[in-house]
A and B are shown apart, each in its own frame.
Chain A
Amino acid sequence: GAVVSQHPSWVICKSGTSVKIECRSLDFQATTMFWYRQFPKQSLMLMATSNEGSKATYEQGVEKDKFLINHASLTLSTLTVTSAHPEDSSFYICSARDVDSYEQYFGPGTRLTVT
């Protein structure tokens, strides 16, 4: 089956530092990847759509300068949380859309804690 990996699975960082999260499709190509965030007891909320070779599309209320997205290849998208603050502590999860089937497959997520 289609597998999506995320790295790291959890990270603790100090306020003001930047954190990069990687999302990889391991056995399929994905021109489009999606980044979601989940706060406790809330649903997964789409943050942005990452398009290979072009700029990401951000959802309303998501700061593009704070959440930098790069989708440099058909199998890798990265999300960088810049100058992280405690309120950015959350669960971040990506999904990748198979170019052939259009199905979305999810990674296992990254737990970010900013102290």
Chain B
Amino acid sequence: ILNVEQSPQSLHVQEGDSTNFTCSFPSSNFYALHWYRWETAKSPEALFVMTLNGDEKKKGRISATLNTKEGYSYLYIKGSQPEDSATYLCAFTSGTYKYIFGTGTRLKVLA
């Protein structure tokens, strides 16, 4: 059974703080790792699709790294803002269309 773990489950940070969270996935049969940002009552929004070991992607204050050999990805948010409050999901794919999701990290940024 393929398992994707995310940690922490939730965290609260102060506005302006930087934060990061982890997604762990199977290191075998890796094809892609997806990060999504999911606000309540909205559709999950795609942040990054990562495919290459050592990949690093950036979108504004958010960046992500990928280590396929050890099976983890980090998502970083620099200078957190209240609007960054959301659940951050990662999903692993092994070459098929099937996405295997983690349970998400719920981030609350306090003003």
Inter-chain contact total with CB atoms closer than 8 Å: 41
The answer to whether A104 touches B99, judged by C-beta atoms less than 8 angstroms apart, is yes
With A and B bound together, what is the CA distance between A73 and B57 in angstroms? Answer: 36
Task: Report which residue of A36, A43, A93, A108 has the largest number of chain B beta carbons within 10 angstroms of its beta carbon.
Answer: A43
With A and B bound together, what is the CA distance between A32 and B41 in angstroms? Answer: 23
With A and B bound together, what is the CA distance between A106 and B89 in angstroms? Answer: 13
The answer to whether B43 touches A9, judged by C-beta atoms less than 8 angstroms apart, is no
Q: Is the interface of B mostly helix, strand, loop or mixed?
A: loop
The answer to whether B43 touches A41, judged by C-beta atoms less than 8 angstroms apart, is no
B: interface residue count bin? 10 to 19
The answer to whether A43 touches B41, judged by C-beta atoms less than 8 angstroms apart, is no
Chain A, 77-115, contact with B by CB distance < 8 Å: what is the 0/1 string? 000000000000000010101000001111111000000
Q: With an 8 A cutoff between CB atoms, is A42 at the interface?
A: yes
With A and B bound together, what is the CA distance between A3 and B100 in angstroms? Answer: 22
The answer to whether B97 touches A49, judged by C-beta atoms less than 8 angstroms apart, is yes
Chain B, 82-111, contact with A by CB distance < 8 Å: what is the 0/1 string? 000000010100000111111110000000
The answer to whether B98 touches A46, judged by C-beta atoms less than 8 angstroms apart, is yes
Chain A interface residue count, Cβ-Cβ cutoff 8 angstroms: 23
Query: Closest residue of chain A to B6, judged by CB?
Result: A43
Minimum C-beta distance from B60 to chain A (A): 16
Q: With an 8 A cutoff between CB atoms, is A62 at the interface?
A: no
Q: Which residues of B contact A (CB under 8 A)?
A: 4, 36, 41-44, 46, 49, 89, 91, 97-104
Q: List 15 A-B contacts (CB under 8 A).
A: A3-B43, A4-B43, A9-B41, A34-B97, A36-B101, A43-B4, A43-B100, A44-B101, A46-B98, A93-B44, A97-B97, A103-B49, A104-B99, A106-B36, A107-B43
Q: Which residues of A contact B (CB under 8 A)?
A: 3-4, 9, 32, 34, 36, 41-46, 49, 93, 95, 97, 103-109
